[in-house]
Every structure is written in C-alpha cells, then in structure tokens.
Chain A
Amino acid sequence: MMSRDTSSRPLIDLIHDNNLGVSDEEDAFYAHDDGDYLLTPKWRGMNTNPSTRIPRRLQRYFVIYVIAAVVILISWWVYIGPRYAVYRQEQLELGNAAKMGHVKSMTPAFKDLIQVQDLDEKHLPRGDRRLVVVGDVHGCKEELEELLKKVGFRDDKDHLILTGDIVAKGPDSPGVVTLASRIGASCVRGNHEDKILLSIEEINDDHKNSVARAEVDVVDRPSENQEPAVLGTEPELLQLAKSFTEQQLSYLKSCPVILRVGQVGALHNVVVVHAGLVPDVPLEQQDPFQVMNMRTIDLDTLVPSEKRKHTPWEKYWNHQQKRKPAVERTTVIYGHDRKRGKNINKYSMGLDSGCVSGGHLTAMVIKEGGKHKYVQVKCKQYGAYVPQ
C-alpha cells in the first residue's frame, strides 16, 4: 500500500528538508568548503571581500608567529628571565662592591716568603719566543714532560711559568722540581709549597732550639713524647718535605707569592699567582695567605675567602678590569681551583684542570702581542684524590 503511494510521487520529495536545489552559483554553496567554523560569518565575509581579504600565506604566517611568541614567552619565564635577573643582580652587587673601596691595611711581612717578584724582561714573548704557563702539576712529571713535548717547548727560546702546587699528591714531586729548575722555569708559591716550606722551617727551628735548651738550666725538653714540629703536619706531607734535597728546597723557596710578568700586548699587565687576587689592592699589600688560598670574595666586605660560599673572586676581578683604562688592566693567570677546572675569562685564566685526579694538564701558550692558545694532555689517574 505504501509503495503504491510513493510511486506516484518523485522520491526526492520524500527527503526531509532537502537543500539539494542550492545553486552552485551562490556563495553559500562554497561556504562549507572553507572548513572555517571558528570565525563568524561576518568576519568570514570580510575576509572573502576581495578589497579586505588577508592573503592565505599571511594567514599561515600568523599562526607561525603566534606559536613563536608563545615559545619565546615560555622560555623567558622559565629560563632567560630568571637568568637575566640573576645577572642584573650580580652586576648591581659587583657595582656596589666596587663603590665601597678598599681599606689598606699593612700586615707585616713573613720570614722567608717573597711577596712580589718581577719576571726578567728577557723572558717576555718577543719574535718567536713564547711564554708557556702551566697549571697545578702536583708531582705529575710524566704529564709535564708530555705537555712540553706537545707544545714544542724549546729550552733556549721559550720560558715556562708554573702556577704553584707543583708538588704533593702526585707520584714524583722532587722530579718535577728538578725538571723545573733545570729548564729555568719560573714559579709561584702555592698553598702546598707554603705548607711544606713552613713545616721544614718548624723542624729546623725545633732542632736549633734543642741545642739552645741544653745551654739553659734544664735538660728535659717541653714535650718529651711528642714532637711539636710534627703537630698539624700530615705524616705524608712531612715525609714529602723530607724527600727534597737542599737544592730542590731552595728552588721552592725562591718562588714568590706573586710573579709580575709585565706588559704582554693584548693581555695588558700579566700577573701569575696560585689562587687569586683582590682587585684595586696593590700587589705588595695583597694578603699572601689569601693569594695562595682564595676561591671567593665576600662582596659585602671585599674580604676574600678560601671557602666557596661567596662570589667567585674572578667574577669581581673581571668586572673591575673592564672598568679601568686599558693600560691599567691586569690579566691574572692562576691555578688552585681544581673543582671549577679550566676557567677562561677575559682577564683571568684558571689553568688547574685536575691533572693529579685524572683530569688534564693545561698549558697557556702566549706569543708576542698577547695572542694565546691552550694545549692539554690527558693525565693518568693517580689514586683517590686526597683533600688538602
């Protein structure tokens, strides 16, 4: 019955709400194909109007720009922003510290300790003569020999400077001293040389006193069952101290705390120390203990410290050098800080790359005009690192 009814009408009439009759001449026919349901018809109309239409290429770029902006914003929030704030804060603190100025105290000199010495001018890099500065050797004689070979060191033309701590911890301290003195190397006094030389002084002192005491009205010495000279000196250090010959000791004694190298072109004034320097304090008035031991500087007081809790001293050093007229700028080459390793800045070069604990032995090779490069050799692992 139903089929009969429908057969009399065209099937198309049965389709509910049919719009198949839409003409492809009308805009609406294409509207769905835009696939653009995000925009209201009004905006879509604006875009389709040929006079205000945004080219499709630009539309695509717009999306890319938005994504890029989001990435930039996120990285600013997460990474660059905080870093920039830290940098700003640091610059502010360094600037404030610089304003404070230094108090010049005059700590008296010490016996048998050379505070400052000038490098003989004939050793300055001229022509094909080079200066080779090597970080903490710590008795690694083989590595030092290997490094000199790699650098192509010529005894008659080049001059070697060691940044202190050439002895202790490693396998052949006396050997390194002999090698250094044979090729006429310059050196500075490191904390290890300092301790060894003082310990030897204390032993000799005690010896002298035992003679003096015999002349006094008593026979027994103040400490019969303990040697005061051994106090505070680790047995290994004492043993090492005793292993040096007179000649080797006199070489170590000749190492100043600060070696003033002189003017070397682009490096300006060059100074070699073991640990560090406080800017704006004359070399003669630097505290020798700190020059051999410092790692950081307290920006509130400008007092250096052997601990790590303050600002790295070289940060303040570089900050201050950049603000000086070129002729007054000073570049410091140093060692001591194994933990921070090779640490190259514009006005400070840290060369201790931890040779004795299996790292590298680093040389800074300086040519005429201050042009320089770094050369390294890999070191053997010499047992566990012994904290100083």
Chain B
Amino acid sequence: MRLSAYAVAVAGAALLRQSVAAPVEIKGDVAPQVVRREDLSQEDKERLKYFHEPGAGNQMGHYDRRYFKGIVSDEERTETQLHMIRAYLEWFRKKGLDTWIAHGTLLGWWWNGKRLPWDWDLDTQVSDATLNYLGKHYNMTTHKYRSEDGKTERTYLMDVGNMIHERVRGDGMNVIDARWIDVSNGLFIDITGLSETHPDTAPGWWSCKNYHKYQTSDLYPMRETMFEGVAAKVPYAYDKILKDEYKEKALVITEFEEHQWDSQQLLWIKTPEQTEKDRQEAADRAEERKKQEEEEAQRKQEEANTQQEEKKDE
C-alpha cells in the first residue's frame, strides 16, 4: 500500500518536471515578428508607407508626392505656410476639435508667435481620440480657404493615414498620422496623434509614434494664445516641453540656420551673407534657365530650318 503511494508520488513529480520543462510550441503567427526600418528593402518601405514624398531631405522630403509640381521658392513657401497654418487652426476651431502646435512650430511661437523662417514643415499634435474622429469623419475632405484680405485662395486636403490605430512606432514607416496638404504645391502640416500607450505601466505618459513623450500634466490644461495672427493652443508647460526637446540653448541662441534674431524688430532675419548667397543662386538658376531656353529656341530654329530646307529640296 505504502509502496504504491510512493510510486504514484514519484511518477507524478517526474511528469510535472517534464511538462514544465518542455518547450512551448509556437504555432503560426502567435509570436510577433519584429520588423525594423533598417531591415526593409526600398520596395517594402514604399509599400508600407502611407504618405509619400517626391524625395528625401530638406528640399524634397516636405512635399506630398501627389501634389508636387516642383520645389517652390522661399517666398512661396513662406506664403503657403502662413495661410496653411491659419486655415488649419481656424478650421479646427470652427469644428470644435482640439489641436495644438508642437516641435519647431512651438519653438517659433515661443520666440515671437511666428513660424521659424527656416523651418521646412509645420508640426501640430492632437489626442488619439481627436485623430480617430478625424479619420472617421473628415478623412480625404477638402477645405476651401480665403485669406482675410481676399487675395489668397487655397484648397487644403485633410488626409488621415491608414495606420492611425497602430499607436506605437512599429516599422517606423508611418510615424506621421495625418496631413493638412496645400493641393496647389504639396506642402503640408504634419499632424501627429498622442496616446497613452501604456496606461497600465506608465499612466499619465503620452507618446507619439516617434517616441516623443509627454506627461499629461505638462500638456493639460492647454493655454490659449496667438500664432501667426490666429488663436492657437499650446501645452500647459510649453517651457518645459521646449527645454526637454531642444535644451536651454534653443531659448537663447540668436543665430541659427543662417538667420539672426533681431531683438528690435523681434524677428528672425536672414543673415546678409545668406541673402547674398540666395540671390546668387537665384541668378544662377535664372541664367541656366535662360541658357536652356536659348538652346531650345536655337534647336527649334535649326529644326525648322532643316525642315524648310528639306521642303525646298523636295
């Protein structure tokens, strides 16, 4: 009797050990496959990406491919961005949707309530709730805009990406959630949604898909202020957010990207050297164009001549 009890106990223990130590078999797609941006081929990247640009870098990376017609001049970019952000902020306000300015755009606001003149794009943020709402109700809607003086008319496209429900970086191909695009030249505002990605382990921390992290108490309650002449919202602790992202230097440095801070006019002014350089470049471009046109005209002339001669020969 006692012996059989021992036998059962020993057998039981052995079985338990075996079942605990046995490797768990993973079937099919249960284990998440980690895809990194670096591992992707160019083709994959294109396929996975929602928003497309005509190229990369400062020049080409800031246009939407569908509406890109060519690199715009500095003046047109400034003009476009000014109306674009006004239209955006006014539209959100009218619809009662919350949005606020972020990153370089927030830094520009801190200095003088205007964009930083060298900034290639504008950045705004929304909460994930607002982002979903935008996707549901306003995706691919166009909005007509007329400036206050009536001189400028533009059309903007509200384009919400198809990956807005993925709230982490993932493969890194869709860190921008939505765009407000000027359809006349393809320049846009980047809209990123913030979500509380880990409410269990890190409650009160909001994050965008590019790993910018914010504490709820630094974001809310928002402050209402003015940006480029229209009402805009900025996060509660705008100062802290700017220092965390750009360090204290960004709030005191007076020379940046060939621009200098003019403390009398309270404006960022392009340095004389850069103005000269830009002028030179513009002149060079004009010369090149002229040359090309001349060559073209000459070629056409020659063609016409040969055709005429051919006709004569006939």
With A111-B224, A231-B216 as given contacts, are A300 and B109 in contact (CB-CB < 8 Å)? no
Beta-carbon contacts under 8 Å, B203-242 to A: 216-217, 219-227, 231, 236-240
Partner of B222, one of A202, A287, A289: A202
B263 with A233: CB separation less than 8 A = no
Partner of B110, one of A105, A202, A212, A301: A105
Interface segment out of the listed B90-98, B269-277, B304-312: B90-98
Is B127 in contact with chain A by the CB < 8 A criterion?
yes
Q: Which of A103, A208, A217, A221 has the largest number of chain B CB atoms within 10 A? A: A103
A109 with B239: CB separation less than 8 A = no
Interface segment out of the listed A222-230, A342-350, A362-370: A222-230
A212 with B236: CB separation less than 8 A = no
Is A108 in contact with chain B by the CB < 8 A criterion?
yes
Return A209 CB to nearest CB of chain B, in Å: 3
Contacts of A263 in B (CB 8 A): none
Is B111 in contact with chain A by the CB < 8 A criterion?
yes
B220 with A212: CB separation less than 8 A = no
Is A35 in contact with chain B by the CB < 8 A criterion?
no
B129 with A228: CB separation less than 8 A = yes
Interface segment out of the listed B31-39, B48-56, B248-256: B248-256
Residues of chain A at interface, number, CB under 8 A: 43
Partner of B96, one of A210, A226, A231: A210
Contacts of B226 in A (CB 8 A): 108-109
Partner of A108, one of B94, B127, B227, B239: B227
- Distance between Cα atoms of A176 and B221 in the complex (Å): 24
- Distance between Cα atoms of A108 and B130 in the complex (Å): 26
A232 with B97: CB separation less than 8 A = no
Interface segment out of the listed A18-26, A133-141, A193-201: A193-201
Is B17 in contact with chain A by the CB < 8 A criterion?
no
With A222-B97, A306-B240 as given contacts, are A106 and B223 in contact (CB-CB < 8 Å)? no
Return B186 CB to nearest CB of chain A, in Å: 28
With A223-B129, A228-B129, A303-B251 as given contacts, are A103 and B225 in contact (CB-CB < 8 Å)? no
Beta-carbon contacts under 8 Å, A23-53 to B: none
Task: Provide the A180-210 mask, 1 if CB < 8 A to any CB of B, else 0.
Answer: 0000000000000001001101100000111
A104 with B225: CB separation less than 8 A = no
Is B68 in contact with chain A by the CB < 8 A criterion?
no
How would you classify the secondary structure of chain A's contact residues: helix, strand, loop or mixed? loop
B266 with A103: CB separation less than 8 A = no
- Distance between Cα atoms of A226 and B199 in the complex (Å): 14
Contacts of A107 in B (CB 8 A): 109-113
- Distance between Cα atoms of A213 and B130 in the complex (Å): 13
Contacts of A233 in B (CB 8 A): 220-221
Return B57 CB to nearest CB of chain A, in Å: 30
A: residues with CB less than 8 A from B are 103-113, 195, 198-199, 201-202, 208-210, 212-213, 216-218, 221-223, 226, 228-229, 231-233, 287, 289-290, 298, 300-303, 305-306
11 A-B contacts (beta carbon < 8 Å):
A103-B252, A105-B110, A105-B261, A106-B266, A107-B109, A213-B96, A216-B96, A228-B130, A289-B238, A303-B252, A306-B240
Closest 9 CB pairs of A and B: A232-B220, A209-B96, A222-B133, A223-B129, A108-B113, A198-B221, A111-B224, A232-B216, A301-B248
Given contacts A103-B263, A110-B223, A232-B217, 7 further A-B contacts (CB under 8 A): A106-B111, A198-B222, A201-B224, A202-B220, A212-B94, A228-B130, A303-B252
B: residues with CB less than 8 A from A are 94-98, 109-113, 127, 129-130, 132-133, 137, 216-217, 219-227, 231, 236-240, 243, 248-249, 251-252, 254, 261, 263, 266
